[in-house]
Structure 1
Amino acid sequence: MRRVFFVTSLPCLYTTRLLFHSQQSSTEYSLSLSLSLFWTKMANPDLTENGVLDSSALIFLGTGCSSAVPNARCLIQPSDPPCEVCFQSLSVPPDRNPNYRCNTSLLIDYFRSDGNHSYILIDVGKTFREQVLRWFTIHKIPRVDSIVLTHEHADAVLGLDDIRIVQPYSPTNDIDPTPIYLSQHAMESLAVKFPYLIPKKLKEGQELRRVAQLDWKIIEEDCEKPFVASSLKFVPLPVLHGEDYICLGFLFGDKSRVAYISDVSRFPASTEYVISKSGAGQLDLLILDTLYKKMVKRL
């Protein structure tokens, strides 16, 4: 059975950790709110004593829109009656508030066959620093090994400058750069937005600037051109974001096949085929980021 999560429609999913376990031929899903490491460990016995998870997991760092939730305008220019969703943020702490949401972003905690973990981040939006402070600390995430970008809009990339806070510290900034996978169009846009993050040949005696060190890797907007990030295979899933802009979703997973698709208004036939049962095979999980509440046709 395919499971579908509309991550901006379900309450509290902005703090959700989704765990994948394999038992014989079936796949078991264990869903728990990530309000604290204690709660996560109690709900998921695969956590070891030091808080390390012995299976792969998905951590929803944010499921909000570009302006995030609450919308500041609702608080400084309140309507009459006031917006119930945004005003809830004044009385309920963020860790217990289903309507306090950061920019859409997913962290894949990938438990590799060699027994080690890789941490793969999909999108680095305007709220990335807050996401690190809130959720990396709770889930004991020590670093980011790879970054994958869906597109180059502000809510997906404006946190790139803060990637340095999840990289190793070096007085000379002489560290291994973090691989970042993106389309050619996104690369051209980010070269203008963040020229200081693009590697340049150093002059004699010049030191590396103390900024995020990134290894830019171009991927194709093509379902037939998969790539590998931190040992995990990804299949790009081009979708329409509006009517004239291509955004990427991604298909990934070894034992469980997951399709993660954000900022989507319409599916091209090629992408719809890849995630269909008649295409690449039955999905275990389909995650859609949906902005507006409408009737959804049963898949």
Structure 2
Amino acid sequence: MDPAMDTRPATFPTGGASSSSLIFLGTGCSGALPDARCLIQPSTPPCAVCSKALSLPPDRNPNYRCNTSLLIDYCRDDGTQNYILVDVGKNFREQVLRWFVHHKVPSIDSIILTHEHADAVLGLDDVWVVQPSSHRNDIEQVPIFLTQFTMDSVAARFPYLVKKKLGEGDDFARATQLDWRIIEGDIDKPFVSSGLEFVPLPVMHGEDYVCLGFLFGSRARVAYLSDVSRILPRTEHAISKSGAGQLDLLIIETNRLHGVGDARSCHLTLSQSLDAVKRICPKKALLIGMNHEFEHHRENQMLAQWSLREGIPVQLAHDGLRIFIDL
């Protein structure tokens, strides 16, 4: 089996035959991969990653990357499964067709939004296809957790999804039934989504824009930072081995392979992401949010060498990857 496509259980503590898991619905940048510009306006020589991205089916091609999104399959102590979706980007319908079907995910129970950019919210109109329904086929409301800033932006984009009262003729205007719940981007103000506690982790996503990551899990501690250019000191303390305690898994973006980044950048480069991994010192790290500079197998070979040298296993994640972990 190709190790890059191995979705067998990872080496995390599990609670028995039934366990929680993390399903990576997307691991790419906002534009997703292949980058359409590389195909309609090919360079000389052509972009190797985007040229190959259409040569294999996506389920066998880790360089085919949809917008970054995570599905948390949370197994409660009584065996109940809850599915918590983090971000609903532009490729959400494709992610449902590929990975909900592949992993036999029947519906979602709640949604969490990291911020209001297009690659995190533009799939909200398609959420209705994965909402639970009653025996009468009535769609049930799904709680969605977001900041007031994100709420205001979503309301302007999707007024029909947030209006409180339906007018005459609006029977089909709100196929997606969402229960909007405002959270604060404060480490000291955790919230519970489908039985699992989340601690907001504010990070900078550009010079003057705050995005949220999240810390979750009590048996195994996981931090998820999908859009970040700089980790704030208080956030880093909350997730670092030298601060509040070692993470079992750090999921952090690395958008560009080359460059060192600057104050105007909205994303971490690979060198910056690896520096953050060294400072935070998790037991294991997975990288997400990659653009077309990253060739999955080549970069994972390089990361395997880095991991041996630094003593922290780090790899690129890929769309469809499922990690079993006891939350």
The separation in 2 between residues aligned to 1:197 and 1:18, in whole angstroms, is 37
- 1:114: how far off? 1.3
Measure how far apart 1:167 and its partner are: 1.4
* Equivalences for residues 69-148 of structure 1 within 5 A: 69-148=33-112
Q: Which amino acid aligns with 1:263?
A: D
Task: State the match for 1:62 in structure 2.
Answer: 26
Could you say which residue in structure 2 is the equivalent of 1:241?
205
Q: Which amino acid aligns with 2:180?
A: W
> Aligned with 1:81: secondary structure?
coil
1:82 shift after superposition: 0.3
TM-score scaled by length of structure 1: 0.81
When residues 169 and 90 of structure 1 are mapped into structure 2, their CA distance, relative to the original with a 3 A threshold, is same
When you count strand as a share of all residues, which structure comes out higher? 1
Report if the CA contact (8 A) 1:172-1:208 is conserved: no
The amino acid that maps onto 1:243 is E
More deviation, 76-85/89-98: 89-98
Structure 1 unmatched ranges of 5 or more: 1-10, 25-44, 47-53
State the Cα distance separating 1:89 from its structure 2 match: 1.8
SS at match of 1:288: strand
Could you tell me which amino acid in structure 2 is paired with residue 77 of structure 1? Q
8 A Cα contact 2:160 2:174, kept in partner: no
Aligned residue number for residue 38 of structure 1 = none
Conserved? CA contact 1:126–1:155, under 8 Å:
yes
* Residues 166-204 of structure 1, C-alpha deviations (whole Å, 9 max, x = no match): 014589984321000001100000000000000322358
1:164 lines up with 2:128 in the alignment: yes
Does structure 1 retain, via aligned residues, the 8 Å contact 2:133–2:140?
A: no
Paired residues of 1:107 and 1:119 also in contact (CA < 8 A):
yes
Are positions 1:255 and 2:227 aligned together?
no
Q: In 2, distance between residues paired with 1:201 and 1:23? A: 45
**Cα 1:218–1:77 shift into 2, 3 Å:** same
Q: Identify the residue that residue 251 of structure 2 maps to in structure 1.
A: 287
Task: Name the amino acid aligned to 2:223.
Answer: A
Aligned to 1:273: 237
Q: CA 1:69–1:226 in 2, change beyond 3 Å: closer, same or farther? A: same
Shift of 1:275: 0.8
**Counterpart AA for 2:13:** S
| Separation (CA, whole Å) in 2 of partners of 1:109 and 1:164 | 19
Superposition deviation, residue 270 in structure 1: 1.0
Identity of aligned residues (%): 65
Secondary structure of 2:53's counterpart equals: helix
| Structure with the larger RCO, 1 or 2 (CA within 8 Å, 6+ apart) | 2
Q: 1:23 to 1:91 in 2, by over 3 A?
A: closer
Q: 8 Å contact 2:187–2:202 — kept in the other structure?
A: yes
Q: Return the alpha-carbon distance in structure 2 between the equivalents of residues 206 and 79 of structure 1.
A: 48
For residue 231 of structure 1, what is the aligned residue in structure 2? 195
Q: Is the 8 A contact 2:109 2:132 kept in 1?
A: no
Residue of structure 2 equivalent to 1:196: 160
Measured at CA, do residues 186 and 197 of structure 1 come closer, stay the same or move farther in structure 2, by a change above 3 Å?
A: same
Shift of 1:131: 0.4
What is the distance in 2 between the residues matched to 1:88 and 1:146?
35
- Secondary structure of the residue that 1:190 maps to in structure 2? helix
- Cα distance in 2 for residues equivalent to 1:16 and 1:82: 31
Determine the C-alpha separation between the residues in 2 that align with 1:190 and 1:152: 7
Contact 1:17 1:57 in 2 (8 A): no
Q: Deviations over 1:238-272 (max 9, x none)?
A: 00001100000000012100000011000111111
Per the alignment, in what secondary structure is the counterpart of residue 230 of structure 2? coil
TM norm structure 2: 0.74
- Whole-angstrom distance in 2 between the partners of 1:208 and 1:23: 43
Instruction: Check if 1:22 corresponds to 2:13.
Output: yes
Deviates more, 1:110-119 or 1:169-178: 169-178
Q: Secondary structure at the match of 1:90?
A: coil
2:145 alignment partner, SS class = strand
- Rate the CA distance shift 1:173–1:129 in 2: closer, same or farther, 3 A: same
Aligned residue type for 2:222:
V
